[in-house]
Amino acid sequence: MTEFDLIRRHFTRPTPSAVLGVGDDAALLQVSEGNVLAVSSDMLVSGTHFFADADPFLLGHKALAVNLSDMAAMGAVPRWATLAIALPDADEAWLGKFSAGFFSLAQQQGVELVGGDTTRGPLNLCVTIIGEVPAQQALRRSGAQIGDDIWVSGTLGDAALALAHLQNRFVLNEAEFALCVMVLHQPQPRVALGLALRGIATSTIDISDGLLADLGHILDASQVGAQLDFAALPISSTLLGYMQQPLGRQCVLAGGDDYELCFTVPATRHAEVSHIAAQLDLPLTRVGKVVAGRGCIVHDAAGNPLNVEACGYDHFR
Ligand code: ADP
Ligand code: MG
């Protein structure tokens, strides 16, 4: 199979919303009137972001999902994607499953694959996502105001708990692992939430590196501080069982790969956030407040500051 057969068979689908899709030297895309492009890339490297024997269908899902999460965090409508992929060999069965996982999420989210690059090499996946948003409505990291409430979607820490199990740092029973591992392998990007937060959230970020690390980016960009209420952090019933252990706390505060959104909203708009939660059938939890100063203090249930040694995972540390 030539490279071009491979691209035709596995990565070429109709792209009705592109002026020109796969097959020429570049795709041609028309931006909708009044919108700007939101563009972001996320690379998944074998051995760093996934195990070499990872399920290809789930990998296809995740490669796109992590990019969609960035669109969610900008309040952008995802429209198009490109895929740069390095493959050790042209394994037909693997490619079929990978592209099925990729395209099932792409179709669900209305995203068209309009181009990419295919080369031989150690397995490596880089998706670039292109979305649209009216410039003034983009959700940036820099708008948090003192007095705003801090919210997070879904639950935190399950993906990190599953990873700890897979890396033999912790042992979960079969049922617990089955629940957590789906969050790790098949994250659900919060695109609809990002769109609903336009005009409401003062700042937004997606949680890919852990709550403390990613909220920290909002605080830096907005030049404010935060107080978090540890007891308020939303966790699954699985993680609840491990909250007395250091690893449980670490997962919820610093666990990566959850792809939930963290956002700030003026306290006066609480009801609007509750309304969004009901409409989307997605738990949204108020976890703290934006305060003057810098950095983040986490309070325990008794109101005492928690000793937070745990911080977000940093690839170059
Ligand atoms: P060039 O030589 O101009 O870089 P390529 O031969 O790499 O072009 O690619 C041919 C066409 O196939 C281009 O339109 C490119 O965008 C597309 N393409 C290549 N790899 C992928 C892929 N993995 N997924 C989607 N489209 C791809
Ligand atoms: Mg090329």
CATH code (residue 223)? 3.90.650.10
> What proportion of the chain, given as a percentage, has pLDDT over 70?
97
Residues with CB under 6 A from ligand 1: 7, 11, 22-25, 83, 85, 113, 115-118
Span from the CA of 6 to the centroid of ligand 2 (angstroms): 13
The pLDDT score that the predictor gives to residue 316 is 46
Cα–Cα distance, 308 to 126 (Å, whole number): 33
The pLDDT score that the predictor gives to residue 2 is 87
Nearest ligand to the CA atom of 27: 1
Same domain, residue pair 124 and 255: no
**Ligand 1 pocket mutation, candidates 20, 118, 123, 130, criterion most atoms within 8 A of CB:** 118
Nearest ligand to the CA atom of 15: 1
Same domain, residue pair 129 and 9: yes
Q: What is the residue with the minimal CA distance to atom 27 of ligand 1?
A: 116
Q: Is there a domain that residue 304 lies in?
A: no
Q: What is the residue with the minimal CA distance to atom 9 of ligand 1?
A: 117
Q: What is the residue with the minimal CA distance to atom 20 of ligand 1?
A: 117
Same domain, residue pair 279 and 189: yes
What residues sit around ligand 2, an ion, with C-beta below 5 angstroms? 117
Residue 117 CA, closest ligand 1 atom number: 20
Q: What is the residue with the minimal CA distance to atom 13 of ligand 1?
A: 23
Tokens of 147: 């007095």
Same domain, residue pair 253 and 159: yes
Domain that holds residue 240: 149-299
Shortest CA distance to 71 belongs to which of 219, 223, 252, 259? Answer: 259
Given 134, 160, 190, the domain boundary residue is 134
Q: Is there a domain that residue 316 lies in?
A: no
Instruction: Report the mean per-residue pLDDT for the chain.
Output: 95
Q: What is the residue with the minimal CA distance to atom 19 of ligand 1?
A: 117
Residue 25 CA, closest ligand 1 atom number: 3
Same domain, residue pair 158 and 115: no
Q: Give the count of domains, the chain.
A: 2
Given 107, 134, 161, the domain boundary residue is 134
Same domain, residue pair 8 and 38: yes
Same domain, residue pair 121 and 153: no
Span from the CA of 10 to the centroid of ligand 1 (angstroms): 12
pLDDT digits (tens, 9 = 90+) for 136-155: 999 999 999 999 999 999 99
pLDDT band at 309 (very low <50, low <70, confident <90, very high): low
Same domain, residue pair 162 and 292: yes
Count of beta carbons in the 10 Å neighbourhood of residue 209: 21
Same domain, residue pair 158 and 289: yes
Per-residue b or e along 36-56, where b marks 16 or more CB atoms closer than 10 Å to that residue's CB:
bebebebebebeebbeeebbb
Q: Is there a domain that residue 19 lies in?
A: yes
Q: What is the residue with the minimal CA distance to atom 17 of ligand 1?
A: 115
Angle between helix 92-109 and 3-11 (nearest 10)? 40
Q: Is there a domain that residue 290 lies in?
A: yes
Same domain, residue pair 288 and 154: yes
pLDDT band at 110 (very low <50, low <70, confident <90, very high): very high
